[in-house]
Structure 1
Amino acid sequence: MAAEIQPKPLTRKPILLQRMEGSQEVVNMAVIVPKEEGVISVSEDRTVRVWLKRDSGQYWPSVYHAMPCGVTALCWDPVQRVLFSGSSDHSVIMWDIGGRKGTAIELQGHNDRVQALSYAQHTRQLISCGGDGGIVVWNMDVERQETPEWLDSDSCQKCDQPFFWNFKQMWDSKKIGLRQHHCRKCGKAVCGKCSSKRSSIPLMGFEFEVRVCDSCHEAITDEERAPTATFHDSKHNIVHVHFDATRGWLLTSGTDKVIKLWDMTPVVS
């Protein structure tokens, strides 16, 4: 009698759609671009890559941007089409992806590496958490300004005193060269005497006081110094967050092996 043939059990498994290679170090995070055939990734090799699907069906890094430091966290605003990245240099950067303007807005509000980001779309508030234990809630419903590029100069662009590497001007003027600084508001190269003041510039992302030249310090109004973020101490080194927008709850986990659940409605509203 012939043996009865048993049907093979159905097996279900994930289908690999793409394999994207090219990063030189560990990929810290990647997000799918909503409604687009695209992926954005960040890596320990300090790169931000935007992988777009080509006519061949393969994904290639159509946009490649090298960062001065390692990117540690990503978050996406699907409505404004803005990408937020946190990095080991304590900063958060807002990238205008959807507007295609190429703008990048800095947010400086941490004293340690930024390790987690979450975005409250309904209130347009960004939540950033870091190794300093800080939870920072940023108001993104304001018109922010790009920080200026730092200008190059051989002498102070305010008083014309030579910097210490400008040997010719030092010899001609019989003056000792000065150390170079930069005003965070105008970007000019200035000496310490012409930039003796410090100020917060929240609309430029500087919630903490930074060096500014004396003329910019006089021009900044009290209204312009009004903070655009609130700061809260979680009392643990946060490595991951999850925000439940329906209830306004934030879940944080830290290197201390502790999970904390927060009601963020007093500040995210």
Structure 2
Amino acid sequence: MAAEIKPAPGVNQDKFSSNRKPILLHKLEGCNDDINDACIIPGVEGVISICDDRTVRIWLKRDSGQYWISVCSDMGANVTAMTYCANNRHLFAGLENGTIKEFVVESDFNRMTLVREYAAAHTGRVTGLIFSEEDEWIISIGRDKVFQYHSTENGKRIGCWLTEAWYTALQYDHASKYAFTGDYSGQIQMFHLQNPSCTLVTTLKTHTGSIRSLAWDSDKQLLFSGSFDQSIIVWDIGGRQGTAYELQGHHNKVTALCYTSTERLLFSGGEDGVIVCWDMAANRKETAKWIESNICQACSRPFFWNIKSMIDQRQLGLRQHHCRYCGQALCANCSSQRIPIPSMGFEFEVRVCDACHVQLKAANQTPLASFHDAKHSIVSMDLDVSKKRLLTVGQDRVIKIWDVTALLQ
């Protein structure tokens, strides 16, 4: 039975006032341990999930309209990462012990057969997997701080890279053979994959928290990164100018990102239990660079570390703040105004100076994102544009399937 989800008590009601809402269609329950990931099976009314109870499960929708488990396969260790290819029905499962297992799923989705085991792939938890059918590569990352890719033709490792922090997120552009990795320190690395080796192209550093999720727009060559610092950054990789846009709409860790290039919409989910739908076709401005100064750039009063000016002016130093629109260094009195700046990704009110407040108040402040209560803290998401379905995995060990037709219009 479909249900329209309304905001939970205590949340910002204004942000959930959109007439276009996702509709909850199904809840998949019954897992007694944490669900680490799940995906919608293309072309089938089904879902594949992985769990800390060491199982891979295939759920199929029955004539009753309910989802029931058709396959529940024990992997021998906690299943921590997965990727599924619909074209050849190959499923890869990454385990807590570092092993990667490759399966082929039968056409009726009632059985899966082990094809190959990459037993020495990693020495720690596998945190991300992507299968490149064109290249016949399985690309993987893990808590052993290793990024690598194996040939699925012969099972041999082709190339690898060792970094200084756990790898936590992975994306791949099949056309250019560029791979993107996010790590626990907040850095993003860009690799060019070749046979027999990979090359580090660049490192992106802006996030102040761990990278939890990455999404890729192959048309515009934009990389989206979601972090524990509660922010999303849009990196213009194709422009080669180092342009980065910031999206601020979550009040807790951003844990999942899904992008559709046809509608140019980005879906983000977080531990705040909110699904945000971002309009990426809108004209957006790059995040302002913060200016550092020893004095307030509006009233010239010194900041607390400027001892000389404090003595000269015979007054206590002030704390430094910044206007989110122009980036000027200001004291609290000169940056007391608050206003949302949707064009810069700030959907909630942020600190601005008096001059910018006047300018922004006269400008168009129409929101460029819509907010929806998922009713559970989100672990991961999957989007099937053809079905207009969004899947969310929650910390409550429940999988939810949403009809997002209204959001994709």
TM-score, normalised by the number of residues in structure 1: 0.91
Task: Deviation per CA, 1:118-177: give whole Å up to 9, x if none.
Answer: 012211010000000000000000111111111111111001111112111121122222
Percent identity, aligned pairs only, is 41
Matches within 5 A, 1:77-156: 77-156=217-296
Measured in 1, the distance between the counterparts of 2:242 and 2:156 equals 32
Structure 2 counterpart of 1:59, one-letter code: C
5+ long unaligned stretches in structure 1: 1-10
SS in 1 for 2:310: helix
Q: Which residue of 2 aligns with 1:41?
A: 181
Q: CA deviation at 1:255?
A: 1.1
- Which of the two has greater strand per residue? 2
| C-alpha RMSD over aligned residues | 1.7
Q: CA deviation at 1:46?
A: 2.2
Paired residue total: 258
Measured in 1, the distance between the counterparts of 2:355 and 2:407 equals 35
Measured in 2, the distance between the counterparts of 1:51 and 1:177 equals 46
Higher relative contact order (CA 8 A, sep 6+): 2
Q: Which residue of 1 aligns with 2:198?
A: 59
Structure 2 counterpart of 1:217, one-letter code: H
Measured in 1, the distance between the counterparts of 2:402 and 2:315 equals 59
Corresponding position: 1:205 with 2:345? yes
Query: Are 1:23 and 1:45, in contact at CA under 8 Å, matched by a contact in 2?
Result: no
SS in 2 for 1:162: coil
Q: Which residue of 1 aligns with 2:408?
A: 268
Measured in 2, the distance between the counterparts of 1:153 and 1:258 equals 49
Q: CA deviation at 1:44?
A: 1.2
Query: Are 2:233 and 2:244, in contact at CA under 8 Å, matched by a contact in 1?
Result: yes
Task: Deviation per CA, 1:196-220: give whole Å up to 9, x if none.
Answer: 1101001101001010011110110
Q: CA deviation at 1:68?
A: 2.3
Query: Are 2:165 and 2:184, in contact at CA under 8 Å, matched by a contact in 1?
Result: yes
5+ long unaligned stretches in structure 2: 1-113, 117-151
Of 291, 300, 303 in structure 2, the residue corresponding to residue 160 of structure 1 is 300
Query: Are 1:20 and 1:60, in contact at CA under 8 Å, matched by a contact in 2?
Result: no
Query: Are 1:197 and 1:212, in contact at CA under 8 Å, matched by a contact in 2?
Result: yes
Q: Quickly say closer, same or farther: Cα 1:171–1:100, change in 2 above 3 A.
A: same
Q: Quickly say closer, same or farther: Cα 1:147–1:12, change in 2 above 3 A.
A: closer
Measured in 2, the distance between the counterparts of 1:252 and 1:59 equals 33
Q: Quickly say closer, same or farther: Cα 1:222–1:242, change in 2 above 3 A.
A: farther
